[in-house]
Amino acid sequence: MTGRGDDQGAKRRRVRVALAVAALLIGAGIWAGIWAGGRSGAPADGPTGMAADDPAVVARGARLYAAHCASCHGAGLQGETPNWRQRKPDGTLPAPPHDASGHTWHHPDDLLFAITKLGGQATAPPGFKSAMPGFGDTIGDGDIWAVLSFIKSRWPRAVQARQESISERAR
């Protein structure tokens, strides 16, 4: 004999499973759109991927970084605050450093592109609160790749190589 509590528990489990499946499907759809847009959607105004060894792309990325990113992430890529891992009162984290001391290089190219284009919240795991705005309506895909190329160009070669390995594994 099953009681009402057992029925409620089963119903809650089914709801949790349905929500988890929905989140996975939505996430897969977002990633499919990001992947397709990040791969084929870059306009003729710039690269369609990282070009940290191209001086012209890096110079353009430096100008764009100064105009759109430095106010939060710092002119020297040092981040908003040394305590960038400690949440603010609103639950968000400070803007992290983009130099080798931060975690930017721990992410594959396509995710860095997606975060920059769509914003941190659009790409964040469930329950994570991000204040990173998306720049897809402000600058083009090629410009986003130029900014990322500039950031990557500032990392030591060993860090660049590790990040490239992370990107390769993610493909």
pLDDT tens digit string along 108-127? 999 999 999 999 999 999 99
Measured distance CA(20)–CA(88) in Å, rounded: 28
Q: Which domains are assigned to the chain?
A: 41-170 (1.10.760.10)
Q: Which residue has the higher pLDDT, 7 or 61?
A: 61
pTM confidence score: 0.73
How far is CA 150 from its chain centroid?
A: 16
- Helix or strand run (H / E) with residue 152: helix 141-153
